[in-house]
Every structure is written in structure tokens, then in C-alpha cells.
Amino acid sequence: KAGVTQTPRYLIKTRGQQVTLSCSPISGHRSVSWYQQTPGQGLQFLFEYFSETQRNKGNFPGRFSGRQFSNSRSEMNVSTLELGDSALYLCASSLAGTGETQYFGPGTRLLVL
């Protein structure tokens, strides 16, 4: 069974631009969560989608948004990029998301200049 895939793997943007990241979960998994990883803050939860609905949200500004499609694939968008948004963005999938094992993708490394 294929694992979680994320595209693109690397991205360089400039301040003020916007970016869209994509995540394809493991086949059959309906829950997709997004995390931001930085050296200073570690891994922080952004949001979770289940059956095309945002079910849970972390403490990030409204510039961070996401969506999930009917095939469970998910995208996250960051508008008006700031230097501090440079991070590894990780996507994790699970069957239904409630206390279950979450499997992570390789991440998208975003650099904002």
C-alpha cells in the first residue's frame, strides 16, 4: 500500500506571495491532518479534515487554510507569506482520526525569502 505523498517536496517563495501544498493520504484513510515543523517551535498542529470538513483547528492565523476533496486528498494554502512561515509542512493520514495511528508524509519544505 502506498504511503502518504506530498507535493511539491521543496518550494521557494517570497514574502507576500501565496502557496498551495498538496497531500494524498493512504488509500482508505479519510482523515488528513497538517502540521508545521520549525526548529524553534517543533511540530505544531494546523488543522484536520475528515470527509471534506474541517474538524479541528490549531492556533494559527487565518492566512493558513485548507480543504479536502471527495477522494480525501487535501490541500493547504498559506496567503501573504511571511519569513516566519519557512518550515517543513507535514501531512498525516489516518482511517478516521479519533485516537488512531497517524502516518506522516515526507513533508514539503517551504522557504520564504
Binding residues for other proteins, per CB under 8 A?
4, 31, 33, 35, 42-45, 48, 50, 55-56, 58, 90, 92, 94, 97-107, 109
What is the smallest separation between the CB atom of 74 and other proteins, expressed in angstroms? 14
Nearer to other proteins, 74 or 102 (CB): 102
CA 88/CA 78 separation, integer angstroms: 13
For cell 486528498, the residue is 73
Distance CA 53, CA 106 (A): 24
Calpha distance 1→14 (Å, rounded): 37
Residue 72 is classified by DSSP as: S
60 or 79: CB nearest other proteins:
60
Tell me whether residue 50 or residue 64 sits nearer to other proteins (CB atom): 50
